């Protein structure tokens, strides 16, 4: 018999970094250029067979067009058990913004232990960059340490790179905190 857990993840980051596209790719397996799923869609559901004994019902919340303040209300974060914080690798200002988003998150929600909820940084649109691995790796390793991210993934909603992997990693971390 399988056990069923319900997990809630939020996806945050600046406008245009690819949040809706990541959700659409993760949930529907699709990417549509210029597709704006966040209009009128606040959350999506996905069922994951984590292992032979565990089924996870994942709710994924999109901030649905409220990015301009780089702050969300405490109510919005209340149910969050994990976060994907997204930036666009072609726009360095969105990496700085990721740190502001993460601070906002950590001041408004934490685990019962007082630790930050598990959060993963997504360096999205990696299909658009040339490979300058060493630089990116050391910058993002340091950034994750400074901003209390568990880890980072290069991702592309367009080319389906590391979206499932990042989602699965976060769910596993959330189950450990449960
Ligand atoms: P949001 O505002 O953060 O929800 O961003 P969207 O998902 O609406 O994406 C903004 C734009 O970036 C759209 O034109 C998407 O097609 C494009 N986009 C999203 N993810 C990727 C990606 O991984 N690679 C490329 N090349 N474009 C992307």
Per-residue pLDDT, 100: 95
Confidence of residue 50 (pLDDT cuts 50, 70, 90): confident
Cβ atoms of residues 125 and 156 within 8 Å: yes
Confidence of residue 40 (pLDDT cuts 50, 70, 90): very low
Using the mean position of ligand 1's atoms as its centre, give its distance from the Cα of residue 21 in Å: 6
Residue range 81-130, pLDDT digits in tens: 999 999 999 999 999 999 999 999 999 999 999 999 999 999 999 999 87
What are the counts of helices (DSSP H) followed by strands (DSSP E) for the chain? 5, 6
Confidence of residue 77 (pLDDT cuts 50, 70, 90): confident
Cβ atoms of residues 43 and 59 within 8 Å: yes
The closest residue, in CA terms, to atom 19 on ligand 1 is 18
- Ligand 1, atom nearest to 23 Cα: 7
State pTM to two decimals. Answer: 0.92
Using the mean position of ligand 1's atoms as its centre, give its distance from the Cα of residue 125 in Å: 7
Residues with CB under 6 A from ligand 1: 15-21, 33-34, 36, 38, 124-125, 127-128, 156-158
∠ CA(85), CA(111), CA(74), 5° rounding?
Answer: 65
Using the mean position of ligand 1's atoms as its centre, give its distance from the Cα of residue 65 in Å: 13
Using the mean position of ligand 1's atoms as its centre, give its distance from the Cα of residue 12 in Å: 13
Running DSSP on this structure, what letter comes out for residue 113?
T
């Amino acid at each position: 018999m399988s056990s069923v857990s319900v997990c809630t993840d939020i996806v945050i980051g600046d406008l245009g970094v690819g949040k809706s596209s990541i959700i659409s790719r993760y949930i529907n397996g699709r990417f549509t250029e210029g597709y704006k799923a966040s209009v009128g869609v606040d959350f999506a559901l996905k069922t994951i067979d984590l292992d032979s004994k565990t089924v996870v019902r994942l709710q994924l919340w999109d901030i649905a067009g409220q990015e301009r303040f780089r702050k969300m209300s405490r109510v919005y974060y209340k149910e969050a058990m994990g976060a994907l914080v997204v930036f666009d690798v072609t726009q360095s200002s969105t990496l700085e913004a990721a740190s502001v988003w993460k601070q906002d998150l950590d001041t408004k929600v934490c685990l019962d232990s007082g630790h930050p909820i598990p959060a993963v940084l997504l360096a999205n649109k990696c299909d658009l960059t040339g490979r300058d691995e060493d630089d990116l790796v050391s910058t993002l390793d340091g950034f994750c340490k400074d901003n209390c991210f568990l880890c980072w993934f290069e991702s592309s909603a367009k080319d389906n790179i590391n979206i499932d992997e990042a989602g699965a990693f976060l769910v596993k971390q959330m189950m450990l905190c449960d």
